[in-house]
Structure 1
Amino acid sequence: MAKIKEKKIVKFSEYISYIETLQETMSGSLWYRGSNNSSHHLIPGLYRHKKRSGMLDLSNLESELITRFQQRSMPFTNRSFNDPWEAIFYMQHYRLPTRLLDWTENPFIAFYFAIGNSAYDIAADGELIFTTDATVWILDPVRWNRHALSHQTYDRGILLTIDEEMKGYVPSTSISKMNNHPVALYGTHNSPRIVAQRGVFTVFGQSASGMDELYTSSRFPKDCLIKIVIPKENIKSLRAALFSYGFTESVVYPDLDGLALEIKRFFEFEV
């Protein structure tokens, strides 16, 4: 079984060069996901519950979360959430656990999420010592989808929630009727942050395994998922390089929260 290709990068120029090479050799668009911990699997929040792990139990948990959110959110929004997809995209925006996993079409945004919030210790001289390798995952969403839905002889590209193939992923669908593998789809751009971050998604079905695990166990096409590893000892210099290119908090979070984070960092208050 093929293992996921891993590429270690220590300079920002190496990252740019590698992305350019991939974009030239791949036939379609690529998606990116940054993680501040290279050991984390590609699993959505709903499937990370500490106590509830069986798929039937997780399906019931999803229904409970959606119902509670619909009931309790009414004083804070004028949205009715008649469409279950709209509900979980909105829930995802506010960091509630869903079957969605966030990706971006912008490789620099993913790089920010990989290293902009890395875990660190503070040395006696005040210097930051980063403690965990970071990762940028790279996904070919078209090739992934065609394999994930090969049992339906699917030969198109990235999905929309209105597509026939998405009936097997609709929130609150009976778990027995869900498709097995996660698929890549365009979601609702329901906030300025999603627009700024070029946000896209994968949505999971019956399998609670990470996409990185499924890549091997389900024999996905070679290199439709790639892992870039960012060594912890290089994060400091890579962050400086990324920020010098203008990819700062106020770009990633185009609101007062983002501006506040950027000002704090500028005046050397670590965020």
Structure 2
Amino acid sequence: MKNSEHITSVEDLIASTESLLKDKNSSVLFRGQPNNDPLLPKVAGKNPKNDTTDLEKKIVKEFRRRLARERDIAAMDDWDLLVFAQHHGLYTRLLDWTSNPLFALWFACSDRMSTSDVYIFMLLAKDEMLLDPSTEKDPFKIKKTYVLKPNINSSRIRAQSGWFTVHPFAEKDKRFVDLHKNKSIKGRVLMKGIRHANKPDILRTLDKLGVNQESVFPGPEGTANYVNWLHRDDL
């Protein structure tokens, strides 16, 4: 896939996905970012050449230990735990995506403090890229980048139609590999920009379609942020 120009509206985004969605042997995933930084997970840190595998194991183990009394945590396998931890802010090898383009658009545009252009990424994930947890049971032993369709173990994953890419430290390359430079995925990632000036209108349209802080983050905190947003011009 080739990168294209900026989009100016929700309608532009929907139109740009129509041809991609016709591929029955692939899943189209979306990610919104306030910048066009490399497509890498947080555990890659500021230096993708740093192998953080052992540190990540330690972090996840400590997360599980501290929540050992939680019945749901005790029953989770390693993949479910990694997904759960990621959605609660732990640094992992997972990078968030969604199967809903409107949610990705909201994530790209939602930061009111940002005054720069933002970006939507689209990943055409072939079926053979999907991870099978029954055969790849240990997240820390995978040798290539996978796409993970997670179990729905939280209301947030359900609400956001969450998917993930899973990024190991590549022994051959001696680094975490940006999806744009990943040989098995390169060419299947499309980036579209959104001008800062178009963000307010896009957010208003998304709100009319039911995509806002309250729907993206179910619960009191999401509702509070949504009410603040409704009265943003008065605060």
Q: Name the TM tier (shorter chain).
A: 0.7 to 0.9
Structure 2 unaligned runs (5+)? Answer: 171-175
Q: C-alpha displacement at 1:255, in angstroms? A: 1.4
- Deviation by residue 1:119-172 (Cα, 9 ceiling, x = unmatched): 33xxxxxxxxxx221111111111672xxxxxxxxxxxx33311x3x25xx234
Quote the Cα distance in structure 2 between the aligned partners of 1:269 and 1:80: 45
Residue pairs, 1:98-137, within 5 angstroms: 98-120=92-114, 131-137=115-121
Quote the Cα distance in structure 2 between the aligned partners of 1:6 and 1:270: 37
Asked whether the equivalents of residues 98 and 163 of structure 2 are also in contact (C-alpha less than 8 Å), the reply is yes
Q: C-alpha displacement at 1:247, in angstroms? A: 1.1
Asked whether the equivalents of residues 43 and 211 of structure 1 are also in contact (C-alpha less than 8 Å), the reply is yes
The equivalent position to 2:223 in structure 1, one of 259, 266, 270, is 259
Aligned residue in 1 for 2:162: 199
Percent identity for Structure 1 against Structure 2 = 25
Aligned residue in 2 for 1:88: 82
- Deviation by residue 1:216-238 (Cα, 9 ceiling, x = unmatched): xx26464x211111122221222
The equivalent position to 2:194 in structure 1, one of 217, 224, 230, is 230
Q: C-alpha displacement at 1:11, in angstroms? A: 2.2
Q: C-alpha displacement at 1:44, in angstroms? A: 0.5
Normalising by the residue count of structure 1, what TM-score does the alignment of the two structures yield?
0.76
Greater C-alpha Rg: 1
The code of the aligned residue for 1:234 comes to N
Aligned residue in 2 for 1:161: 133
The code of the aligned residue for 1:136 comes to I
Quote the Cα distance in structure 2 between the aligned partners of 1:270 and 1:183: 45
Quote the Cα distance in structure 2 between the aligned partners of 1:184 and 1:252: 22
Structure 1 unaligned runs (5+)? Answer: 121-130, 146-157
The code of the aligned residue for 1:195 comes to R
The code of the aligned residue for 1:96 comes to L
Root-mean-square deviation (CA, aligned residues, Å) is 2.5
How many residue pairs end up in the alignment?
230
Asked whether the equivalents of residues 119 and 132 of structure 1 are also in contact (C-alpha less than 8 Å), the reply is no
Residue pairs, 1:17-36, within 5 angstroms: 17-24=15-22, 27-36=25-34
Aligned residue in 1 for 2:126: 142
